[in-house]
Amino acid sequence: MNEPEVNLPDVTKSELNEGGQGHPASALSALLDGELTYEEETTVQTHLMGCSTCRLELDDVRMARSWLRALPPVDPPFGYLERLTLTPAHSQWRDSQWRNSQWRRVAMASAGAAAVIAATVVGVAPAQKPAGPATPNLVNATVPTLVTTTLATTTLVTSTTVNPFVPVLFPVNPLIP
Amino acid sequence: MNNRVPTWEEVARDYGRFVYTVAYRLTGNDHDAQDLVQEVLIRVRKGLDTYRPGSMEGWLSRITTNAFLDDMRRRRRRPVQALPDEPDRLLPPSPGADSVLAQRSLSADIQTALIRLPADYRSAVVMCDVVGLSYQEISSSLEVPVGTVRSRIHRGRALLREALK
């Protein structure tokens, strides 16, 4: 017996051609969600009556839909929302404003200039050493003093003869075993 | 009916858990969810003036989903973390210990399958089944035709079901 010719609505007509199999495919989920027009729903229901493939697919997506809808709310970590309202988003927003602001550019330029000046001064300082007998080996000369004396002698390390480009050896406290 | 536009703090306080849930369902882990919530709240703060009283959940879920999709586009080359963390924080729906454990396990499995969906499908499915938006609302939020929404939701559900068979 031939099935009656159904006048399909536009959307469902195109969906019936999905995959070339003549199945309504995504209209099945729309059917579950009540998102079909009366005409579309009638068409899909008629198709379902004669198509076991679509009935199985409808069962599958119905199952997936019910699982998803049963997912419980998720609690954020304890205190997270309270912290958010107190600081982070505020400060992040302020930070983003700060990053884009003119004041930031001015501050960055000033900081850069200060760094250059500081580097120049520090770089010149070693050349201003007082004239006198050459220090044969600064590090070797200083270390024994530090090791064998008390903390009070650590000021020796910062004396004007120390070359700032030589890594400073931290004094060993003889009181600490 | 109260038509007053809420303050930023009120949105964070009253809808923070909702936004976190949507963010967690989209990202699948706490760390990314927290980052996403912060990004959402920053966008909320910037855009609160344009909010018109209506469905706050709809508005927030649209912001959350778009922020998520923006982030996914930015780091497309980075792998997605596949497993949800700290499943203990999923709220037990009933007091029975066995049913709680079974529910947690199923929820974790669903979450795992969910974050393996392509981001476009995942967004549509979350907006439909987790948030409860209509196809028309999802279409407006994602700026795609209703037919595309319908297709993404169906394929997302079908893939998820297939993954859990």
Instruction: Assess B102–A contact: CB distance below 8 Å, yes or no.
Output: no
Q: Could you tell me which of B104, B129, B143, B105 has the C-alpha nearest to residue B26?
A: B129
For residue range B123-133, list pLDDT tens digits in order. Answer: 999 999 999 99
> What residue spans of chain A are helical by DSSP H?
10-16, 27-32, 38-49, 52-69, 80-86, 88-100, 102-124, 138-148
- Tell whether the model's pLDDT for residue A39 goes beyond 70: yes
Q: Buried b / exposed e across A145-177, counting CB within 10 Å, b at 16+?
A: ebeeeeeeeeeeeeeeebeeeeeeeebeeeeee
% of chain A beyond a pLDDT of 70: 44
What pLDDT is attached to residue A3? 36
A64 interaction partners in chain B (CB closer than 8 Å) = 157-158, 160-161, 164
pLDDT for residue B91: 52
Which residues, at least 6 apart from A154, have a Cβ–Cβ distance to it below 8 Å?
Answer: A146, A171
Question: Inter-chain contact A80–B92, Cβ cutoff 8 Å?
Answer: no
Pick from A115-119, A157-161, B26-30, B117-121: least confident: A157-161
Nearest residue to B62 (alpha-carbon basis) of B164, B143, B162: B143
Q: CA of A109, closest CA in chain B: separation in Å?
A: 28
Would the pLDDT of A120 be above 60?
A: yes
**What pLDDT digit, counting tens, does each position of B74-85 carry?**
877 655 555 555
* CB proximity B45 to A under 8 Å: yes
Contact A85 B161 (CB under 8 A): no
- pLDDT exceeding 90 applies to what percent of chain B? 60
Matching residue, tokens 């949105």: B11
What's the rounded Cα separation, in Å, for the pair B157 and A88? 36
Nearest-neighbour CA in chain A from B151: distance (Å): 5
Contacts of A135 (CB under 8 A, 6+ apart): A141, A161
Position A147 scores a pLDDT of: 40
Is A93 an 8 Å CB contact of chain B? yes
**Choice between B11 and A162, residue whose per-residue pLDDT is larger:** B11
Is B89 within 8 Å of A74 when comparing Cβ atoms? yes
Q: What is the mean pLDDT of residues A63-83?
A: 92
pTM of the model: 0.63
